[in-house]
Structure 1
């Protein structure tokens, strides 16, 4: 069985040790065993859980929803409907975020192309482009 120190897990996920301890304190992580010297010992179960936590946090899932999800997951047969509802809601949230990001990317690309063309105009002494032409 693989075992990891808090420093290794911290580096693995780019999380401060204080965050790992907090996740443990609020019950987001399964019980973390400790050595006689009180050093935490993380297992593959913790690594897998942290992978899911980081993924869900990237999607904007709140701590409350994370805790709710993992509570349901512990008794998935009794809470499968709740799990599916929670995940579908998060999927809708992510789809909305993607749509907003794609719109922002379009605007960014318009500006980028506009300013690249201004640079070309400056370099060759031609007339500057018209911003309205970039909305076509």
Structure 2
């Protein structure tokens, strides 16, 4: 089954403009065009776009995604390079998750402080001192 650029954009919560940009930047090297020049996307293209969205959403810069894409075009000879790139990115994502967990704990602690009625006099006293 083939999809139009607007169908793909809706599916991934992107704009057609973003998909055109990704194509222009070389991130969508496999996307075919109809005789009239419109991009047409296959299921494999959707899988590729899902990976691009995943990498971008987890903080990989477009420049690195492009590098990954260029390596993918070279075929199996770059598997180890691509695997290394993904492993390094995974380590960064894990680091980000750990930092987010620390931040979430601080937020939860503050909410817990506000939820405890015994802390209201403490808050009022701090406000009076200011």
1:89 matched residue in structure 2: 88
2:53 matched residue in structure 1: 54
1:22 matched residue in structure 2: 21
Q: How does 1:1-136 map to 2 (within 5 A)?
A: 2-29=1-28, 30-36=30-36, 38-117=37-116, 121=117, 128=120
**Cα distance in 2 for residues equivalent to 1:129 and 1:79:** 63
RMSD over aligned CA atoms reads 1.9
**Cα distance in 2 for residues equivalent to 1:116 and 1:58:** 33
Q: Residues 77 and 3 from structure 1, CA distance in 2 versus in 1: closer, same or farther, beyond 3 angstroms?
A: closer
2:128 matched residue in structure 1: none
SS at match of 1:128: helix
* C-alpha contact (below 8 Å) 2:31/2:40 kept by paired residues: no
* C-alpha contact (below 8 Å) 2:31/2:39 kept by paired residues: no
Cα offsets for 1:59-83 (capped at 9, x unmatched): 1111111111122223343222211
* C-alpha contact (below 8 Å) 2:32/2:41 kept by paired residues: yes
* C-alpha contact (below 8 Å) 2:113/2:119 kept by paired residues: no
Q: TM-score, normalised by structure 1?
A: 0.80
* C-alpha contact (below 8 Å) 2:31/2:41 kept by paired residues: no
Q: Which has the higher contact order (CA 8 A, sep 6+)?
A: 2
Q: TM-score, normalised by structure 2?
A: 0.83
Deviation larger for 73-82 or 49-58: 73-82
Aligned residues: 122
Structure 2 unaligned runs (5+)?
124-130
